[in-house]
Amino acid sequence: MTFVIASFLPSENLIYWGLPLFSTALIAVAGFRGWRKHLHRRFFFRFNILWDKKSQPFCPGCLSPLTDWQKLSSWKFANLGSRTVRNRITYQAFLCRKCRKILRLTDEDGFELTFAQARERLRSPADES
C-alpha cells in the first residue's frame, strides 16, 4: 500500500512521506487486532461455540450470532466383513450464515448436545465435586 501511494509522490520526498504512511498503516493493523481481541473478551468458549452473558450463541470464526439450529443429515461408513456399508445419520447443528460453517454442540466428553441442553448447562452452576 505504501509503494502504491509512494509512486505518486516525488522521489526526493519518498523518505519524508514513506515512513509516516508505513507507520500509520502499522498502527491501524495493530488497532484492528486489539479490537478483535476486545470482542473475544465479551464471549466465553464452551461446547465448541462462543456464548455471551445472556446465553446467546456466536460463531467462533466470524463472531456473528448463530440463529439457524437445524436438523441435518449425512452418511456414516461402516465396515461389515469385507464390504463397506453406507448408513444415513441425522444430527442437529448450527449453520453460520456468514461463514457457512456447520457447528455441532458437543460437551467435554465429546457427546452431542441439543440447544436446550447446552443452554441449561450454561445456566446451572458448575459441579464442585
Domain positions in the chain are: 1-41, 44-129
Q: What is the pTM of this model?
A: 0.59
Rounded to the nearest integer, the mean pLDDT of the chain is: 81
The pLDDT of residue 2 is above 70: no
Helix, strand, coil proportions of the chain in percent (round to 5)?
Answer: 35, 30, 35
Tell me: the pLDDT tens digits for 62-106?
A: 889 998 888 989 898 999 888 999 999 898 999 999 999 999 999
pLDDT in the model for residue 14:
60
Task: Look up residue 108 and give its three cell numbers.
Answer: 467435554
pLDDT in the model for residue 105:
92
Cβ–Cβ < 8 Å for 82, 96: no
- Please count the CA atoms within 13 angstroms of the CA of 26 that sit on its side-chain side: 6
Which is higher by pLDDT, 109 or 16?
Answer: 109
The pLDDT of residue 58 is above 80: yes
pLDDT in the model for residue 40:
57
Residue with cell 523518505: 15
